[in-house]
Chains A and B, each alone.
Chain A
Amino acid sequence: MADGGEPLSDHKLCGFLQAVLSVASPPTLAPGTTCSLFSEGGITGFRSDDGTSLIPIEDHNVKGEVDDSVVSTSNHDGRGGNQGTAASKKRRRGVVLVNGSMSVVHQLHALVSHKCLKIRARVVNVSMREHKGVRVVVLVDVYLPIEVWSGWQFPRSRALAASLFKHLSCNWEMRSSLLAFDQDTGSYHADDECIWGYSDCHVLGCKMHYITSKSDNKMLFNLHEIFKNLPSIERQEKVCSTRIKPEDDSLSPGIWDLADDVLTNVLATLGPKDLLRVAATCHHLWSLAVSIMPCMKLKLFPHQEAAVEWMLKRERKAEVMEHPLYVGFSTDDGFSFYINVVSGEISTGMVPLINDFQGGLFCDEPGLGKTITALSLILKTHGTLADPPPGVNVVWCMHNCDKRCGYYEISADHFATGNFMSMWKRFIGQNVRRGKASSNKSPPDFSLVENSESFLSKQHCSVGSDLPSESTSPSCVSSQIMSGTSSLSMQVKDVLGRARRSSHVKRNLLDTFGKDSGCLNVSIATETENVFYMNTPCPSPIAMEDVSFPRLLRSYKKSRKENAGCSDSSETWVQCDSCRKWRKILQISKLDANAAWFCSMNSDRSYQSCAVPEESWNYKQRITYLPGFYTKGTPQGQEQNVTFFTNVLKEHFTLFDSETKKALTWLANLSPSKLDEMEYAGLRRPLFDTHRVLGKAALGCHKIFQAFGLVRRVEREV
């Protein structure tokens, strides 16, 4: 506390402030008189060495509130009894933070009594006015323990400390000039105007709480006032002294002879993509291109241009910046530290950094043309795609033999480890039956359209010529945030998958299920004459750690041998990564389970385009091959299992359609380990999606699944 003149040995002077207090008696205080905090009978204030009490200025409008907050924060039961403790406790929460203009004297008292800091207070100015009493300015030095530099934090009342530190200054020169008054006794600042124009916080010259008149208090919550105080971007004046420079120093005529207006005219006729390319040629064209909104006949107003520029900046790669909440301070001997002005955390050494986010809010007054501005942004970014998130590998492959497609995998689970590619398991739909797992309508596929956005993006990929498609790997719940404008731009009809920031959610069903589903053990059974019974060849319940395609295929082939009846069972189906259609392929050897596959890679000429509809599923056809089920732990092929299975299917006979068949096929294809998992996890999302998208049809298989004891897991996120 204020303990005479000696510096505090284990503390460092970290900042100072000047508080304005009132004094009842006529001023007999000499400058430099030290004072200490006191609190009795509900009144907190300073007491000078000679016994004069300096108390906070009474403000009838705020007094009650201030006192309450002090009572609660400093754990002093007080305020003279006209307010009970219960009442003040009730108000305790929030009052400190919300009431930013709480008197600094109370804050200091609370913090000192909580041993958060130490102070030294000295009178530096006294001012007297008739009818208004006497005001005293006290210079308060705030000391923090030396342990701050070894990780010390405020033991409590951090928010309070944070709000106190907002008032602190580290202008040490100013402090010493204030203390210079020690020498010339009796003379105070001539200009005492600011002493009388005090604010609620009682800090001299406080900029934050300057608006103190009653009407202004209301204005604080006026939206307009708030927005007025927000920092806005200032448009940089374009320095247009540049010219296009010729490659050689030839004096022949060239594009550099053209006036800027002509060049602007030229650029304005270009599409977004070409505009970008031209802009990349030289400085001058770059600066000209900035203000051009491709495909737009309108000329934007300067404020709109500035907004587009700003939004473009926000959409680009997020920067790492200094944490805006940390305010830097330095001690009088030059040690710097930072305090979070909201949470009160202290940080020393480096400035705390924070990753800026992408995107932002675009707010303008009504009528200023937000729509046009937003459209301009879309047009401006039309043709560019989002940067891939850091750490992902973009895989390029050829689409339609001449167009390059890029994609990357991203997974929520593996984001931290950066282990993206291993997440990627291409599901090659190896169908067991004639017919197939088909399209995103089919249950076995379950690659349902997650939402309209991802659907759109898929569309884009399929058309998206030389543009890469981004895809996220199966189990990933979309981990990218899509900025508003791009989602909009994706809906612009011919965007062709080149939104700036788009997130695609790709779900391959089996993968999804491979992770979190599993229930009954499955074995593959054959079926004759419409009756299902257990035969149990099949991927016997060997422990398969990680079911990958080749494995399934092998086991499948094995089962085929045993069931000579199913000749068509070795069909291999692949799902196009762009249009999600299933294609039957002839040469399995060509498949690379780690790479994307597109319709264009199909060796079957009739199915080489994403536009070609999927091979139809002939559901009139009899099921000649269908897997069967048996309860876990029991041997395969038991009579009761066969009966159970048959019964279930018979019961739901009416529900059979292509979708149901696909669903069953899918279920049969699950590996035992997956099924084990499903037992705990339950059926997951795909079924739900099926239900949503397909309605009735999906309901069929859903019912059958339920009959088998597979219940959809309750999704947390749904």
Chain B
Amino acid sequence: MVGVKKKMVTLVSSDGVEFVVEKRVAEQSLFIKNALNEGGVEEKVMIPIPKVTSDTLSSVLEYCEKHASATEFQENEIEEWDKEYIEKADLDLLYYLLQASYSMSIMGLMELGAKKVASLIRGKSPQEIRELFNIKNDFTPEQEEEIRREMQWNYE
């Protein structure tokens, strides 16, 4: 036998699309890593990823691929890439990415997404935040008054 045969894993998104990726890429996700360990190191494993659509999964795998080979890059190079990566994601994709990274336990991606959301929130008034995320204000007027009083100096 010549060369090291790369171990491949097949991931199946919630809408049935199959993704064949290297094992080391897939193992960026703790969820997959655990699944692989449990099932023994078999080739051609099919791992269904529930709740993650193919669009999101491809984006997630893009991240995993980059970070699986992180050692080949400079530290700041990865950072730059991360920044660009999350920058181009729109709000909807951001939610999906966060949700996917949570269900697949990819800590790095989750942190990245959380930071992005936080940066969107930063410096905005409660009303602006509500508008941004389309959040319903479910406080009663009395509660709102109470909150307003509490953060009076800070409110506007």
**Residue in B115, B130, B152, B155 whose CB lies within 8 Å of A281:** B130
A128 to chain B, nearest CB (A): 63
Chain B, residues 25-62, CB within 8 Å of chain A (1/0): the string is 00000000000000000000000000000000000000
B109 to chain A, nearest CB (A): 11
A253-B92, A266-B114, A277-B125 known; A282-B98 Cβ under 8 A: no
- CB of B154 within 8 A of CB of A383, answer yes
B121 on interface, CB distance cutoff 8 Å: yes
- CB of B126 within 8 A of CB of A281, answer yes
Q: Which residues of B contact A467 (CB under 8 A)?
A: 153
Q: Which residues of A contact B136 (CB under 8 A)?
A: 244-247, 282
Q: Which residues of B contact A83 (CB under 8 A)?
A: none
User: Bound complex: CA of A274 vs CA of B132, how far in Å?
Assistant: 14
Q: Which residues of B contact A261 (CB under 8 A)?
A: 102
- CB of A282 within 8 A of CB of B138, answer yes
- CB of A281 within 8 A of CB of B135, answer yes
User: Bound complex: CA of A649 vs CA of B75, how far in Å?
Assistant: 72
Stretch from B5-13, B14-22, B66-74, B143-151 contacting the other chain: B143-151
- CB of A262 within 8 A of CB of B122, answer no
A244-B135, A255-B133 known; A266-B118 Cβ under 8 A: yes
Chain A, residues 249-289, CB within 8 Å of chain B (1/0): the string is 01011111111011001111111011011111111011000
Q: Which residues of A contact B113 (CB under 8 A)?
A: 262
A262-B102, A274-B121 known; A245-B129 Cβ under 8 A: no
* Number of A residues with CB within 8 Å of any CB on chain B: 45
A244-B135, A254-B133 known; A269-B99 Cβ under 8 A: no
User: Bound complex: CA of A271 vs CA of B122, how far in Å?
Assistant: 8
- CB of A259 within 8 A of CB of B95, answer no
B154 to chain A, nearest CB (A): 5
- CB of A498 within 8 A of CB of B125, answer no
B134 on interface, CB distance cutoff 8 Å: yes
- CB of B118 within 8 A of CB of A282, answer no
**Residue in A277, A283, A387, A468 whose CB lies within 8 Å of B124:** A277
Chain A, residues 528-563, CB within 8 Å of chain B (1/0): the string is 000000000000000000000000000000000000
Output the nearest chain A residue to B151 by Cβ-Cβ distance.
A276
B86 on interface, CB distance cutoff 8 Å: no
Output the nearest chain A residue to B133 by Cβ-Cβ distance.
A255
- CB of A282 within 8 A of CB of B139, answer yes
A15 on interface, CB distance cutoff 8 Å: no
A320 to chain B, nearest CB (A): 16
A245-B138, A247-B135 known; A278-B99 Cβ under 8 A: no
User: Bound complex: CA of A269 vs CA of B126, how far in Å?
Assistant: 17
Output the nearest chain A residue to B119 by Cβ-Cβ distance.
A269
A112 on interface, CB distance cutoff 8 Å: no
Q: Which residues of A contact B129 (CB under 8 A)?
A: 277-278, 281
A59 on interface, CB distance cutoff 8 Å: no
**Residue in B111, B130, B134 whose CB lies within 8 Å of A265:** B111
A247-B135, A269-B114, A282-B135 known; A385-B153 Cβ under 8 A: yes
Output the nearest chain B residue to A270 by Cβ-Cβ distance.
B118
B96 on interface, CB distance cutoff 8 Å: yes
Q: Which residues of A contact B134 (CB under 8 A)?
A: 246-248, 250, 254-255
A316 on interface, CB distance cutoff 8 Å: yes
**Residue in A245, A246, A257, A280 whose CB lies within 8 Å of B99:** A257
B117 on interface, CB distance cutoff 8 Å: yes
User: Bound complex: CA of A256 vs CA of B138, how far in Å?
Assistant: 13
B110 on interface, CB distance cutoff 8 Å: yes
A384 on interface, CB distance cutoff 8 Å: yes
Residue of B147, B153, B155 most packed against chain A (CB within 10 A):
B153
Q: Which residues of A contact B135 (CB under 8 A)?
A: 244-247, 255-256, 281-282, 285
- CB of A387 within 8 A of CB of B149, answer yes
Q: Which residues of A contact B3 (CB under 8 A)?
A: none
Residue of B110, B121, B148 most packed against chain A (CB within 10 A):
B121
**Residue in A268, A269, A270, A317 whose CB lies within 8 Å of B149:** A317
User: Bound complex: CA of A271 vs CA of B115, how far in Å?
Assistant: 12
- CB of A270 within 8 A of CB of B121, answer yes
Output the nearest chain B residue to A385 by Cβ-Cβ distance.
B153
User: Bound complex: CA of A286 vs CA of B144, how far in Å?
Assistant: 12
User: Bound complex: CA of A265 vs CA of B105, how far in Å?
Assistant: 13
**Residue in B102, B133, B137, B151 whose CB lies within 8 Å of A384:** B151
A123 to chain B, nearest CB (A): 57
6 smallest CB-CB distances across A and B, nearest first, come from A385-B153, A245-B136, A280-B126, A269-B118, A265-B114, A255-B133
11 A-B contacts (beta carbon < 8 Å):
A253-B96, A257-B95, A257-B99, A258-B102, A266-B114, A266-B117, A269-B115, A273-B154, A278-B129, A281-B133, A387-B149
Instruction: Give me 20 other A-B pairs in contact (C-beta within 8 A), A253-B95, A262-B102, A280-B151 excluded.
Output: A244-B136, A248-B134, A256-B135, A258-B95, A261-B102, A262-B98, A266-B114, A269-B115, A270-B121, A277-B125, A277-B151, A279-B147, A280-B126, A280-B144, A281-B126, A283-B138, A283-B139, A385-B152, A468-B153, A498-B153
